Amino acid sequence: MSPLERWCLHAAALATAGTGLMDGLLRWFGERPGEFGPEVHPWLGTAQHLHILVAPILVFTLGMMVRGHLWSRLQAGREGRRTGLGTALLIAPMVLSGAGIQVATSLAWRGGLAWDAKAATLTVLEPPSLVGTVLADYQTGIGAYRVHDYKWALKEFKADQNRDSQYTLGIMYFKGEGVKADHLEGIEWFRKAAAQGHVQAQFLLGTMFDAGKDVTQDRAAAAKWYRKAADQGTADAQYNLGLSYVSGTGVPKDAEAASKWLHKAAEQGHKLAIKALKDFDLQ
């Protein structure tokens, strides 16, 4: 290999490894609390796109190495053959799996090629709509959502229609991601998700009806949704429901029910619930 080819190979390998490491760190450790729950780091999409851009450069420089170095090694003596074959075996899986991920429309195939279904959904270059039919799959949609491909994500979520997809659609309409912001449309998707038992959607609707945010204030409806989320173990919902029974807001006053729900929240370490039990003498 010439010095220029060697420099290009090292630079491409460093860039690919660096952007891949950044993508992994942001994906697994970069989640932050948001209005509707944990949100991915805003730089994740940029890291993913950079990785996709530099990885083909690495493949190109590896091709130069094959032409100028590896092939001659394969034609050399025993020691050279071993070195060349080892390099070839390292290169082949990366090239073949990388190409396969881009054209496979089956989530199972992409998951196998990437060793991880979550990673696979994030490394597809083209939406399935360009290479096949929409997969109607939440994981595929959330993969597109995480890299800010909102148009593709909307198609997947709307075709899928499970509660996680419906909840995420509600978030997208609320935040105007890929669509014009429309809180009423977002609420309808939250309702659909909540009706299917999505606990975050249930709690969110409870807070909206409680505060009269984007809906007509309805404390009875708020208590209903708090109860559904509380039954699924959400400490904040148990706390809010307990306070509703303390004050008789949306439900009849009931010290026993208030104590029950505040204790459930307190058992999960909810500090406000622990304080409320003391303040209202419900020990």
| CB-count exposure of residue 144 (10 Å: 0-12, 13-18, 19+) | buried
Q: Which domain holds residue 234?
A: 198-283
pLDDT number for residue 38: 62
Residue 224 resides in a domain: yes
Residue 77: what pLDDT?
59
208 domain residue, yes or no: yes
Distance CA 103, CA 125 (A): 9
What pLDDT was estimated at residue 183? 94
CATH of the domain at 255: 1.25.40.10
Residue 211 lies in a domain: yes
Tally of domains in the chain: 1
The long-range contacts involving 218-226, CB below 8 angstroms and separated by at least 24 positions, are 218/250, 219/244, 219/249, 219/250, 220/250, 220/251, 221/250, 222/250, 223/249, 223/250, 223/251, 224/250, 225/194, 226/202
Q: Is residue 245 part of a domain?
A: yes
What string of pLDDT tens digits covers the 283 residues of the chain?
Answer: 677 877 887 888 888 888 888 877 887 777 766 655 666 677 877 887 787 788 788 778 777 777 666 666 666 655 555 555 565 566 666 666 666 655 555 555 555 555 443 443 333 333 333 333 445 678 888 888 877 788 889 999 999 889 999 999 999 999 999 999 999 999 999 999 999 999 999 999 999 999 998 999 999 999 999 999 999 999 999 999 999 999 999 999 999 999 999 999 999 999 999 999 999 988 7
212 within a domain of the structure (yes/no):
yes
Residue 237 domain-assigned (yes or no): yes
Strands 32-34 and 37-39: antiparallel
Give domain status of residue 268, yes or no.
yes
Kindly state whether residue 279 falls inside one of the protein's structural domains. yes
